[in-house]
Chains A and B, each alone.
Chain A
Amino acid sequence: MSILLYLIPISFLLGAAGLAAFLWSFRSGQYQDLDGAAERVLFEDEDGPAG
Chain B
Amino acid sequence: MPKRSDIRRVLVIGSGPIVIGQAAEFDYAGTQACKALHEEGLEVILINSNPATIMTDKHMADHIYVEPLNVETVQRIIRLERPDSLLPTLGGQTGLNLAMELAESGFLEREGVKLLGCNPESIKKAEDREAFRETMMSIGEPIVPSGVVETVEDAKALALQIGYPVIVRPAYTLGGTGGGIAETPEQLVEIAENGLRHSRVGQVLIERCIAGWKEIEFEAMRDASGCAITICSMENVDPVGIHTGDSIVVAPAQTLGEPELSMLHASALKIITALGIEGGCNVQFALDPDSMEYALIEVNPRLSRSSALASKATGFPIAKVATKLAVGYRLDEILNTVTGKTYACSEPAVDYVVLKFPKWPFDKFVHAQRKLGTQMKATGEVMAIATSFEGALMKSVRSAEIGCDHLWQKELETLDKDALFKVLAACDDRRIFAIAALLRRGVTVDTLFSLTKIDRFFLRKLKGLVELEGELAQGPLTDELYNRAKTFCFPDGVIERLSGCKVTPTRRASFKMVDTCAAEYDAATPYFYSTWDEQCEVSPIQHKKVLVFGSGPIRIGQGIEFDYCSVHCVWAAKRCGCDTVIVNNNPETVSTDFDTADRLYFEPLTPEDVRAIVQAEGITQAIVQFGGQTAIKLAGCLADMGVEILGTSADSIDAAEDRERFDALLKKCGIPRPAGDTVFTVQQAVEAANRLGYPVLVRPSYVLGGQGMAIAFSDEDVAEYMEIVNRTTQEHPVLIDKYLMGKEVEVDAICDGQDILIPGIMEHVERAGVHSGDSISVYPTRTISGRTKLTMVNYTAAIARELKVKGLVNIQFVVYNDEVYIIEVNPRSSRTVPYISKVTGVPMVELATRCVLGEKLSDMGYGTGLYPEGQFHAVKVPVFSFEKLHDLDTQLGPEMKSTGEVLGLAEDYRQALLKGITAAGYRNRKGDCGVLLTVRDSDKQELIPIADRIAALGYELYATAGTARLLNSNMIATNVVRKIGEGKPDILDLLDSGKIGYVISTDTKGRIPSLDSVKIRRKAVERSIPCFTSIDTADAFVSCLELDMDTAELDLVDITKL
Bind each other: no
